[in-house]
């Protein structure tokens, strides 16, 4: 039995050994392939977006942080310490129907850059009177190797001392050369012997397009040397900050402290100067506004040369020409600026410009709208003589105007006081217009007593208490006078008539349909 067991074991061992050798021989005869323990990384073969690195490395030394010290305690319109003021106007100054004011009312909180880019408020102690306090910080950039710097007026306004902080941390004292509240621009100067500063130039504004890349560099929240990128999302924005609004809208991240900082194109040229943001919280939501290079260049040169900006002055109150107004005046296009009233003694009045005229061109260059006219006139030096093209009484005419100088804080428009009260006379009906009127005190004009809510007059904003002073530039004092003018307009083939309306807020023109029932 034992012998059988030994023989069986030997047989099993021989068989197992033979099988093992065969297996080894089979494996070694086959080619060996190594298998990785990890998957291969993802590789994407696609066109790459150009890096902004080359632009940033070139322009970064030219961009600075601006620190402002003042003897004046920072104003605050809310508990956060931020001010609603911007560019010389406050939140409260905006008209009730202004889109920015509606936005603030709906969402609450500051919606623009503050009057200054304010950091923590400096508390005054019993012995602090007369001491300089840090009150603002913003951004700026060199425009010459000898130390001229551009920033915003609202960054440095009320400042007593200015410090420029370079990207490498070096600090220089700067002095104020000049500032202009109307365009929110200011120029500082650093005097440093044997130092040539890296500087940048302005882009050709004619080549700046919506959709172009823009790189914003600045000092948001005190974080100097911050770079963000986006595109120019719109041009010609009017945000209600002044008569020369013509902002670029950009979607690069711009925050408090970016004010005065540049926006560059991919050639390292300044296309705009960041000046305001549109936001319910005061932080970036992708809507920022920049002063275009074309506006900044001219103003900055004047500030460098004289420290101030002298602008031409025409002296007329104007309003846009709508399609309805154009139809009522027989104009082929709804462009130009309608003269509501020339200011007494102004260059415009002296040259013969009248109420109801439409300014269509200056020196042969077409005028698109009132802001375009304001910018064109402001570009001329005081005492310049310009040719002003007008549309008057259904035909073109031209006058020569010797411009005056825009007073220091002259408003863009001339308010017209209306002290007339409705006379206690019988009401008269203009049923075709949906108006009830009566002669105004003094016999000039018609006081509006009632407006049919379903009428075109109501749609155009006419209200009881306002006064009609003229129709198609002819004075009226009774409903019969109005009807006479309307009948003549019908004969002339007009479908609308131009009504001049005065209210507490001033005078305006409104085009109403003649044949309304």
pLDDT band at 151 (very low <50, low <70, confident <90, very high): very high
Q: For residue 90, indicate whether it is catalytic.
A: no
DSSP conformation letters of 39-66: PPPP----PPPPPSHHHHHHHGGGEEEE
28 located within any domain:
no
For 67-110, what is each residue's pLDDT tens digit? 998 875 544 443 333 334 444 445 555 555 555 555 555 444 44
For 410-448, what is each residue's pLDDT tens digit? 433 333 223 233 333 566 788 778 888 888 766 678 888
Mark whether 190 and 330 lie in a shared domain. Answer: no
Q: What is the DSSP letter of 415?
A: -
Predicted pLDDT of residue 236? 87
pLDDT top residue among 279 and 405: 405
Look up the domain containing 91 and give its range. 52-307
Is the pTM higher than 0.75? The answer reads no
Say whether pLDDT at 111 is over 70: no
Mean pLDDT of the chain: 79
Say whether pLDDT at 224 is over 70: yes
Which residue among the candidates 180, 184, 251, 369 is catalytic per the annotation? 184
For the ranges 27-41, 68-82, 373-387, which has the lowest average pLDDT? 68-82
List the beta bridge partners of residue 162.
68, 174
369 located within any domain:
yes
pLDDT band at 25 (very low <50, low <70, confident <90, very high): very low
Summarize the confidence of residues 369-391 as an average pLDDT.
Answer: 91
45 located within any domain:
no
**Which of 81-85, 132-136, 447-451 reaches the highest mean pLDDT?**
447-451
For 455-484, what is each residue's pLDDT tens digit? 888 888 888 888 898 888 888 888 888 888
Mark whether 163 and 299 lie in a shared domain. Answer: yes
CATH number of residue 252's parent domain = 2.40.10.120
CA distance 167 to 59: 10
pLDDT band at 37 (very low <50, low <70, confident <90, very high): low
Longest dimension (CA), the chain: 148
Say whether pLDDT at 127 is over 70: no
Q: For residue 184, indicate whether it is catalytic.
A: yes
Q: For residue 98, indicate whether it is catalytic.
A: no
Mark whether 62 and 169 lie in a shared domain. Answer: yes
Distances (CA, A) of 306 to 54, 71, 184, 301, 302: 36, 26, 17, 9, 6
CA distance 351 to 403: 10
Token pair in block for residue 169? 């941390």
What is the CA angle 61-144-234, rounded to 5? 75
How many beta carbons lie within 10 A of that of residue 412, not counting itself?
15
Beta carbons of 76 and 69 less than 8 angstroms apart = no
What is the CA angle 491-495-496, rounded to 5? 110
CA distance 351 to 106: 46
Say whether pLDDT at 112 is over 70: no
Mark whether 262 and 288 lie in a shared domain. Answer: yes
Which residue among the candidates 139, 154, 327, 470 is catalytic per the annotation? 154
415 located within any domain:
no
Mark whether 234 and 127 lie in a shared domain. Answer: yes
Mark whether 247 and 274 lie in a shared domain. Answer: yes
Tell me the backbone φ, ψ of residue 303, rounded to 5 degrees.
Answer: -65, -40
Predicted pLDDT of residue 159? 86
pLDDT band at 62 (very low <50, low <70, confident <90, very high): very high
For 185-200, what is each residue's pLDDT tens digit? 999 999 998 899 999 9
Which of 278, 307, 336 terminates a domain? The answer is: 307
40 located within any domain:
no
CATH number of residue 453's parent domain = 2.30.42.10
Mark whether 177 and 131 lie in a shared domain. Answer: yes
57 located within any domain:
yes
For the ranges 120-129, 135-144, 274-283, which has the lowest average pLDDT? 120-129
DSSP conformation letters of 230-279: EEEEEEEE--SS-TT--EEEE-S---TT-TT-EEE-TTS-EEEEEEEE--
Say whether pLDDT at 55 is over 90: yes
Number of domains, the chain: 3
CA distance 510 to 323: 11
Predicted pLDDT of residue 102? 52
Mark whether 334 and 436 lie in a shared domain. Answer: no
The residues near 409 (Cβ < 8 Å, ≥ 6 apart) are: none
Beta carbons of 351 and 322 less than 8 angstroms apart = no
Considering only CA atoms, which of 446, 403, 440, 397 is closest in space to residue 422?
440
Which of 390, 405, 420 terminates a domain? The answer is: 405
CA dihedral 455, 461, 464, 466 (to 10 degrees): -130
Predicted pLDDT of residue 76? 44
Summarize the confidence of residues 479-500 as an average pLDDT.
Answer: 85
Mark whether 137 and 242 lie in a shared domain. Answer: yes
**Residue carrying structure tokens 């049919």:** 452
Token pair in block for residue 248? 């670029």
395 located within any domain:
yes
CA distance 342 to 323: 23
For 205-219, what is each residue's pLDDT tens digit? 889 999 999 999 999
Mark whether 491 and 443 lie in a shared domain. Answer: yes
Which residue among the candidates 70, 83, 241, 259 is catalytic per the annotation? 259
Summarize the confidence of residues 374-397 as an average pLDDT.
Answer: 91
Summarize the confidence of residues 449-453 as an average pLDDT.
Answer: 83
Say whether pLDDT at 265 is over 80: yes
Say whether pLDDT at 343 is over 90: no
For 266-322, what is each residue's pLDDT tens digit? 999 999 999 988 877 667 888 999 999 988 998 999 999 989 888 999 998 888 898
Predicted pLDDT of residue 243? 72
CA distance 330 to 101: 36
pLDDT top residue among 246 and 179: 179
Summarize the confidence of residues 173-179 as an average pLDDT.
Answer: 95
Which of 307, 325, 357 terminates a domain? The answer is: 307
Sign of the alpha-carbon dihedral angle for 501, 503, 507, 511: negative
96 located within any domain:
yes
Distances (CA, A) of 489 to 374, 420, 496, 509: 31, 28, 8, 16
Say whether pLDDT at 119 is over 60: no
Mark whether 291 and 344 lie in a shared domain. Answer: no
Mark whether 182 and 267 lie in a shared domain. Answer: yes
Predicted pLDDT of residue 377? 92
């Amino acid at each position: 039995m034992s012998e059988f067991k030994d023989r069986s074991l030997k047989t099993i061992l021989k068989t197992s050994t033979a099988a093992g050798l065969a297996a080894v021989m089979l494996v070694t005869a086959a080619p060996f392939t190594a298998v990785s323990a990890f998957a291969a990384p993802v590789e994407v073969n696609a066109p790459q977006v150009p890096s902004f690195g080359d632009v940033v490395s070139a322009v970064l030394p030219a961009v600075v942080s601006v620190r402002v010290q003042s003897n004046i305690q920072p104003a605050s319109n809310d508990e956060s310490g931020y001010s609603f003021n911007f560019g010389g106007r406050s939140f409260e100054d905006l008209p009730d129907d202004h889109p920015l004011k509606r936005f603030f009312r709906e969402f609450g909180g500051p919606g623009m850059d503050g009057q200054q880019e304010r950091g923590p408020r400096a508390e005054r102690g019993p012995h602090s009177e007369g001491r300089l306090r840090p009150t603002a910080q913003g951004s700026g950039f060199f425009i010459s190797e000898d130390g001229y710097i551009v920033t915003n007026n609202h960054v440095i306004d009320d400042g007593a001392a200015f410090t420029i902080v370079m990207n490498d941390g070096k600090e220089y004292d700067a002095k104020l050369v000049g500032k202009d509240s109307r365009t929110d621009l200011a120029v500082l100067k650093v005097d440093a012997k044997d130092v040539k500063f890296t500087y940048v130039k302005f882009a050709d504004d004619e080549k700046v397009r919506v959709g172009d890349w823009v790189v914003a560099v600045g000092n948001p929240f005190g974080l100097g040397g911050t770079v963000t990128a986006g595109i120019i999302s719109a041009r010609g924005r009017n945000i209600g900050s002044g008569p020369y609004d013509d902002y670029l809208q950009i979607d690069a991240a711009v925050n408090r402290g970016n004010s005065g900082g540049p926006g560059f194109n991919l050639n390292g040229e300044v296309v705009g100067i960041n000046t305001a943001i549109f936001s319910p919280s005061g932080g970036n939501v992708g809507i920022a506004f920049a002063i275009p290079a074309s506006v900044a260049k001219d103003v900055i040169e004047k500030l460098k040369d004289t420290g101030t900006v002298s602008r031409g002055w025409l002296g007329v109150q104007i309003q846009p020409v709508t399609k309805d107004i154009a139809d009522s005046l027989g104009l082929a296009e709804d462009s130009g600026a309608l003269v509501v009233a020339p200011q007494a003694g102004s260059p415009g009045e002296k040259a013969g410009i009248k109420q109801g005229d439409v300014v269509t061109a200056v020196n042969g260059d077409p005028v698109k709208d009132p802001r375009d006219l304001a910018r064109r006139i402001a570009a001329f030096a005081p005492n310049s003589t310009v040719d002003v093209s007008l549309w008057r009484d259904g035909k073109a005419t031209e006058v020569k105007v010797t411009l005056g100088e825009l007073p220091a804080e002259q408003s863009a428009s001339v308010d017209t006081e209306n002290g007339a009260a409705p006379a206690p006379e019988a009401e008269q009906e203009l049923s075709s217009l949906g108006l009830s009127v009566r002669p105004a005190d003094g016999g000039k004009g018609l006081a509006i007593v009632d407006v049919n809510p379903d009428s075109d007059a109501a749609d155009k904003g006419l209200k009881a208490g306002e006064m009609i002073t003229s129709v198609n530039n002819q004075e009226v004092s009774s409903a019969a006078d109005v009807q006479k003018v309307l009948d003549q307009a019908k004969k002339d083939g007009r479908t609308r008539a131009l009504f001049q309306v005065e209210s507490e807020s001033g005078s305006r023109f409104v085009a109403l349909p003649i044949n309304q029932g």
